Structure formats: C-alpha cells, structure tokens
Amino acid sequence: MQHIQLGAIDYTILIVYFAFVLGIGWVLRRSVKSSEDFFLSGRSIPAWIAGLAFLSANLGAQEVIGMGASGAKYGMMTSHFYWLGAIPAMVFVGIFMMPFYYGSRARSVPEYLKLRFDEKTRGFNAVSFAVMTVFSSGISMYALAKLLELLLGWSFHTSVALSAVVVLAYIFLGGLTSAIYNEVLQFFLIVLGFLPLVLLGLKDVGGWAGLTAKLQTVATNAGFAPGAWSASWRHLNAASANPMGVEWFGLVMGLGFVLSFGYWCTDFLVVQRAMAADSMTAARRTPLLAAFPKMLFPALVILPGMIAIALHVTRGGLLPIGSDGVPNYNLAVPVMLAHYLPSGLLGLGLTALMASFMSGMAGNVTAFNTVWTYDIYQSYIRPGRSDGHYLRMGHAATVFGILLSVAAAYATTRFNNIMDMLQLVFAFVNAPLFATFLLGMFWRRTTGHGAFFGLLIGTAAAAIHHGLVLPYGAVPGLKGGFLGTVLHTYSSEMAQNFWTAIFAWTACFVATILISLLTRRNKSDDDLKGLVYALTPRLTDHDLPWYKRPATLGAVVLGLTLVLNVIFW
Amino acid sequence: MKWDVRLPIGLMFSIFGAMLTCYGLASDRAIYDRSLGIDVNLWWGLVVLAFGLVMLGFALRAKRPAP
C-alpha cells in the first residue's frame, strides 16, 4: 500500500493537538493532592463531562477501526452492537446499578465485590482485570503503531514511544481528571474529524438510497438476499441468511444481554468515569447522557465501513486484498480517510484516529493504576499506609502500567498467538461476571462462596464450551475445538462467541444460586445496606426537573433506540 | 469546580478552525479533486471554528461570577 503524504498543515494540527493534551495535564497537576483526586478526580466531575468521558474511554481502536471493519464485513447488522447491545446496558447501569456503585462509596468495581461478597471474589476480579487492562492498552498501542507504519511509513518504535510518552505524561501529571478532560477533547475531535468523511462518502455514493442500492450488489455477490447489508433485523431468522452468521436468539441473548451488560455494567474502565461524578444523580445520569451520542455513533463509525465496501465492490479495488484473497476490512476507515480527505482535513482525521487510540490506552491505564493501588497494593501488599504513600504508588503504577503495555505491544509483534490466547481467556473470565453482579445486587441471599465458585464454574463453562465447538471452516486450536471432539459447528466466529457467553452466564447464574443456598450467609442484612436492592432506601428524585430524572432520561433513550431499530429494520 | 474543560476545547478547535479556513482559502484547487471538488478545508474549517467559538463563549460566560 502506498504511504499517505502529509503536508505541513497536517503535522501542525498533530503538534497542536499534542500540545493541548500535555497542556491539560500540566495545568491539572496542581489539583492532585490526595489519592482520591488522582484515582477518582476527587468525585467532582459534572455529569456531562463524565458522560462524554464514559463514551470516549471506550472509543478506542476497537471501536473506530473495528466497527468500520464490521460495517464493511456485516453491513447494517453491526448497529446491533449499539442499538441492541450498548444502549440498553447503559440505561440499566445508570438506573439500577449506579445507586450501589456510587452509594456504597466503593472506589472500584473489585472493591464493591469485597463489600458485597468477600476478599477472594475481589482478589480474583482485581487480578484478572489488572492483567487484562495492561494487555488491552498494549494491543491499542500495537494496533496504532502498525497502522501508522502502514499508512504513513512511520517506524513502529517511534509510534510506540510517542503514544506511550504522551499518555504517560498527561496521566502522571493530572491523574483521572486529566484523562477525563482529554477524553472529552478527544470525543469532539473524533466527531469533527470523522464527520466530513461520512458526509463526503454519502454524497459520493448518492445518499442513503444510493448506498443501499450499491449494497444490494455487495449482498448478492456474496450470495445473500439483496437487503442483507442494509437491514439490521430482517435477515435474522436463520444464521445462514446473514453475513454475521447469527440467528436472533443468539444475538439477543449473547450480545444484547450477556456480553453488553457484562461490559457496560461491570467493567471498571467505564464505571470509573461515572464513579468520578460529583453527586449520586450525576453518577446515574453519566451513562444516560452518554447514551444520546452513542445512539448516533453508528453513523460515524459503521457508515464509513459500509460506504467503503459499497465502493470497493461497485467501483473496484478500494480496499487492499489480503493474502487470503479477502479484502482487509480493518483498513476500511483509514483507506476512506486517504481517499476523500485532502491535506488539512486529512491531518484532522488522522489526529482524530490517534486520539481514539490514545483515549483507549489512557482509559486502560487509569483503570489499571486504581485497581492495582487500591485493590492489590493497599489490600494485600502494604495495607495501612498514609494517603500520600498510595498517591505516590499511583504515580509509580502509571509508569509501570505504561511500561508493561509497551512490553505487551512488543510481545504481540513476536507472538501474535499469545495475545489472541489471552483475549480468549479474558473473554472466559468476563462472560459470567454479569450473573454475579445481578445476583449480588438483587438477591441478598447470595453468599461469598456462591459468588466466587459461581464465577469459577462460569469461566470453566466458557472454556469447555469453546473447547467443544468450532466456527465454520476453522481448524481446532485457538478458534475452539481444543478438547478433542467437536460437538457443534457454528456458522461464524461471532455466533460461537455469543453462545460461549450464554453458556458461561447460565452456568455462573445457576451455580451461584445453588452454592449460595448450600452455604451460610457471610454478610448480615446490616452489612448489605446500600449494596443490595431490597436493603437500600429508594432514591427519590422528585425535587429534580423532569428532564434531569434518571428514569425519565432512561425511558427517552430506550424509546429513541426503539425508533432507530424500527427505521433500519 | 476546577477550571472549565470548555476553555481548552474551545481554544483548540478555534485554532484548528482558523488554520483550516485559511488553508482552504490559500490552497490550490487541484487538491480538492478527491473531495468531490468541494473546498472542504474552507467549509469544514468554518464549522470547526464556529464550534470552537461557541465552546469558548460558554467557558467565558461561566467564568463570570454569579450575581
């Protein structure tokens, strides 16, 4: 692939952006006086800022590059990740879960698990989460460096060093506040950087009508019904009728319920942003306010991929073809940037792309340093020290968190399989987690042993299911079937993942209930005040104007999402 | 409340907007072949500039002490 030539103006935009990012860290360094300031922004962030950061922290490489790639590969069905997956889960976490997270004054998700269950459940979650965040941030760094190498011809080392130093500097200086402020900046940059691309692309293909007409060719060429790339629900009756290879039940339960709720409700990376909010109402409104822009994100991240595949098929040769003869979908968005944007806006678009990678990295690093310091260091290594001691540890954790991410990025260049394997293991650990939280928050009889062993059994169920099934056309190994016999073949990897999650969740749910009934309660009703639904006083929000009430906001969000689903049915 | 995040956002996008607008006015029309013949730097630069100024406006208005 030919390298993109950047002009002086493009470099200037990039440099100005870096100056602002570092400047924000520099200005905020004075506001960090205690560990609570560093890790939780002193719980002083207004709802709208926390909401945009909530979105942005998740807006890493995975979203911008990955959703564009999925838009090209699966078309409009990719919107399920938003309108079926993310949005309902965000409403749920805002209305039902935030009262316990924020109200318990827990400083992290693992700490909530300790308050609600016991030490071992917290330890398990803290350690697996810490390892996972370091690797996710390493993967982000790796993906960014690879992309810049391919697009601009920059050396891999330069890109890794640059992103590591910038992210390190602004988190080290200003802690979570700095990360959050930069995430808000990055949010607007991503919107303003990608929107012209979408508008130009749409104009080029002849609007939505022109796009659907071209996507019919894409669909029929691939052997599907003509509308398969431009409808979200219509072709879900059978897994063989749509490019994603899933049927509606696996999609709704696997993606819509287990995976999305598991991610948005239990992942400390996003929950941390809401915990930093300045009041209970603000914490509850954080995910709800985030849901409004999130709802429109498919237009920004999925649409470019759909336009790219439409142009690739009807005009020929837009996307580079990989060695396996399949277009390289991951390049859909970068190729579109180079295709439409002239010098000037190209700089803005590339800066937005980098911003998205860096916000993803920073989100992981801030979550890592908090969980490491509070849940591992303060709990097991050096308890009972002064707050200043833990603040210094937070700074140190930021440095070695970044160093470990760099190491992970380089490990990926050597052993691609190790990273795939780790991601698989983490998927097994994460899939059942939502069952534990659901039972913990709504059933006071759930015991510490029940939660811990339920989680282990759920994780094992995920691994066993994965080991006994294969996606269509894959060989036994990392893709599944490693237990020797293949009991079932799914029509796609996506379908396999959804069902692994469903099995893991169900196993954890059932096992936690059974073990809880067989073991003695380790927390009395008094201990569980503020941690369990039935034992927490109902929050009243009648003193708020209607548009600020979480329940009203949630209903509006869900209503609008339903409308979007119907429009693009 | 610490200082207003809208201040750096407003500043940065005002700078970007001004840069893109000027570049759009000065640059050779030939580079806009790929953007369907539209001088996107000029037009989008104005959008970005407007956004930056609105953000700056909010930040400066909020800075004034409440009466």
What average pLDDT does range A230-248 have in this prediction? Answer: 85
Least Cα separation, residue B28 to chain A (angstroms): 11
How far apart are the C-alpha atoms of A196 and A318, rounded to whole Å? 19
Measured between beta carbons, the chain A residues lying within 8 angstroms of B52 are: none
* pLDDT at residue A425 in the model: 78
pLDDT band at B2 (very low <50, low <70, confident <90, very high): low
pLDDT at A503: 92
Question: With an 8 Å Cβ cutoff, are B47 and A192 in contact?
Answer: yes
Q: Give A338→chain B minimum CA distance, Å.
A: 9
Q: Which of A12, A196, A342 has its CB closest to that of B31?
A: A342
Query: Do the Cβ atoms of A192 and B35 come within 8 Å?
Result: no
Q: Which domains does chain A have, with CATH numbers?
A: 8-414 (1.20.1730.10), 420-537 (no CATH)
Nearest CA in chain B to A189: B13
For residue A23, list chain B residues with Cβ-Cβ distance below 8 A. 8
What number is the average pLDDT over the span A160-184? 90
Q: Tell me if A17 and B12 make a contact (CB, 8 A cut-off).
A: yes
Residue range B23-43: mean pLDDT, rounded: 87
The answer to whether the CB of A395 falls within 8 A of the CB of A172 is yes
- Prediction pTM value: 0.90
Residue carrying structure tokens 């805002």: A94
Closest residue of A to B48, CA-based? A192
- If contacts are CB pairs under 8 Å, which of residues 14-43 in chain B contact chain A? 15-16, 19-20, 23-24, 27, 31-32, 34-36, 38, 40-41
Residue B1 has pLDDT above 60, yes or no: no
CB contact under 8 A, B16 and A13: yes
Is residue A540 predicted with pLDDT exceeding 60? yes
Cβ neighbours of residue B65 closer than 8 Å, sequence gap 6 or more:
none
> What pLDDT shows up at residue A419?
66
In 3D space, the residue among A300, A277, A299 whose CA is nearest the CA of residue A289 turns out to be: A277
* DSSP string for A380-441: IISTT--HHHHHHHHHHHHHHHHHHHHHHHHHHHH-HHHHHHHHHHHHHHHTTHHHHHHHHH
Mean pLDDT of A359-382: 90
Helices (H), A206-229: 207-221
* Residue A523, pLDDT score: 86
- CB atoms under 10 Å from CB of B59, counted, come to 18
Return the ∠ at Cα B18 (arms to B14 and B23), rounded to 5°: 150
Contact between A70 and A305 under an 8 Å Cβ cutoff? The reply is yes
Of A13, A49, A200, nearest to B36 by CB-CB distance is: A200
Tell me, what's the ipTM? 0.93
Give me the pLDDT at residue A485, please: 82
Using a CB–CB cutoff of 8 Å, tell me whether A343 touches chain B.
Answer: yes
Average pLDDT, chain A: 88
Work out the minimum CA distance from A209 to partner chain B, whole angstroms: 19
